[in-house]
Amino acid sequence: MAMIRCSECGRAISTQASACVGCGAPLSAGPAFNWVPAQSRAPAPTAGQLARRAALAAAALVFGIIWANALNGRAAGSRVEATLAALLIIVGLCGCIVTLLQGIAARR
């Protein structure tokens, strides 16, 4: 039994139900999953928001690289520190990529 959203009220209902328990709207005979993505109603990020996101992502990336480089010189660096440094680098890179794509999408 899968749960779907009612097209009228948005309440979660079973696919086996004949009508919505919240508003009584009949379930459509169409597919249970909508393959067409819904358009976001959120406004595009402003230039200031993009700049702050880019600065935060770049700071995480730089701090992760510096931390990894400092651990590389030490023989007693723990795996936890190395993992956290690698995660900071990954988060920084992902943040930079997302901010870049949002900046491109905001210009359209």
How does pLDDT run across 11-49, given as a tens digit for each residue? 888 878 878 888 888 876 555 566 677 777 888 888 999
**Contact of 98 with 90, CB cutoff 8 Å:** no
Instruction: Write down the pLDDT at residue 5.
Output: 80
Confidence of residue 106 (pLDDT cuts 50, 70, 90): confident
Instruction: Give the pLDDT of residue 55.
Output: 96
For the stretch 84-96, pLDDT in tens is 999 999 999 999 9
The residue extents of the domains of the chain are 1-32, 47-106
Concatenated DSSP letters for 8-70? Answer: TT--EEETT-SB-TTT-PBPPSS-SS--SPPPP-SPPPPHHHHHHHHHHHHHHHHHHHHHHHH
The pLDDT assigned to 49 comes to 92
